[in-house]
Amino acid sequence: MTARKFLVMVAALAASVVFTGGMALAGPSPDVISLPDGFQPEGIVVGTWPTAYAGSLADGDIYAANLKTGAGEVVIEGPGTPAVGLDFDARSGYLFVAGGPVGDDARIYDTRTGELVAAYDFGGGFVNDVIVARDAAYFTDSFAPFLYKVELGRAGEPTGGFTTLTLGGDFEFVPNNFNTNGIVVSPNGKNLIVVNSALGALYNVDPQTGDSTLIDLGGADAANGDGLVLVGRRLYVVQNFQNRISEFWLSPDGSSAAVVDSISSPDFDIPTTADVKGKWLYAVNARFSTPPSPITTYEIVRVAR
């Protein structure tokens, strides 16, 4: 362990307890965690507990927050281009970052060292989100009907190659709009589930071919669907401008889904993505209706699921 890592660990431990009469008393975990002013978050993922990572649209910085105490710091300095959707692979400790519209379209960092492990230029439009599966990481492109498949080894290490999958079948692409956004692996592990923000539609996608099948939502929709979170057959869709997270219950074969709950909070201010830990969902407020400035405040909001 390096001296810096040891000091960070000590600081985090000190921030998470209050000492009274020689006893360590843990305080309540916060429902709202402040991010740095001007940070402009979009993506969030829970890593090794109690750490969550948030990425900055402004410059690609990665902020690590202690979900138990609310303390945190920037642990990876970005390249000056956006960090959008995030995912974390517990096998390797690697953080996968969708890079948005400019610069490297995807980046992979080692959270233990802050080192940039790999970067990819897919030649796409707007690389928006990412999910790590057993043998590959899949990135969505909101401005083109593609998924980008980055091959991973057995320990989660990138092998250097990637494949472009064209979304076909039922998938509909709406020009000049945000299309494919959030992505998760289906409950049976055989397919991917993606949301089309423009159409409010969910699709099952074959991870080998890109062939897509529309999921029957029974008259409901996932309008402005952004980040996705899957727990068993419960699919949580963050609907950013609706300021809510809709909970869908997937059928056993994944061909249909029904809305079973709508989760909101007075602290929501255009949440974009979320992740789960236990009974809690953690979402970041992107505050897209508020002009960004160096003093604009941003938060992580915790809600019960």
Its sign, for the CA torsion 153, 156, 160, 163, is: positive
pLDDT at 28: 84
- CA 141 and chain centroid, separation: 14
Gap between the Cα atoms of 153 and 121, Å rounded? 20
Gap between the Cα atoms of 193 and 276, Å rounded? 17
Structural domains of the chain, count: 1
77: containing domain? 32-304
Q: Is residue 21 part of a domain?
A: no
Q: Is residue 3 part of a domain?
A: no
**Chain segment 38-81, per-residue pLDDT in tens:** 999 999 999 999 999 999 999 999 999 999 999 999 999 999 99
- Phi, psi for 256 (deg, rounded to 5): -140, 165
Q: Is residue 11 part of a domain?
A: no
State whether residue 1 is helix, strand or coil.
coil
Q: Is residue 10 part of a domain?
A: no
User: For every one of its 305 residues, what pLDDT tens digit does the chain have, with 9 covering 90 and above?
Assistant: 343 443 344 344 334 433 223 333 356 899 999 999 999 999 999 999 999 999 999 999 999 999 999 999 999 999 999 999 999 999 999 999 999 998 789 999 999 999 999 999 999 899 999 999 999 999 999 999 999 999 999 999 999 889 999 999 999 999 999 999 999 999 999 999 999 999 999 999 999 999 999 999 999 999 999 999 999 999 999 999 999 999 999 999 999 999 999 999 999 999 999 999 999 999 999 999 999 999 999 999 999 99
- Phi, psi for 280 (deg, rounded to 5): -115, 145
Contacts of residue 150, Cβ cutoff 8 Å, sequence gap at least 6: 106, 120, 136, 137, 138, 139, 158, 161, 162
pLDDT at 27: 67
pLDDT at 304: 98
Residues 139/130, Cβ–Cβ less than 8 Å: yes
Bridge partners (DSSP) of residue 87 are 96
Q: DSSP state, 115?
A: -
Q: Is residue 83 part of a domain?
A: yes
**Which pair of tokens denotes residue 159?**
């092998």
Q: Is residue 153 part of a domain?
A: yes
**CATH at 291:** 2.120.10.30
Q: Is residue 7 part of a domain?
A: no
Q: Is residue 291 part of a domain?
A: yes
Q: For the range 172-176, what are the long-range contacts, defined as Cβ-Cβ under 8 Å and sequence gap of 24 or more?
A: 172/196, 172/199, 172/201, 173/144, 173/145, 174/198, 174/199
Residue indicated by tokens 């529309």: 214
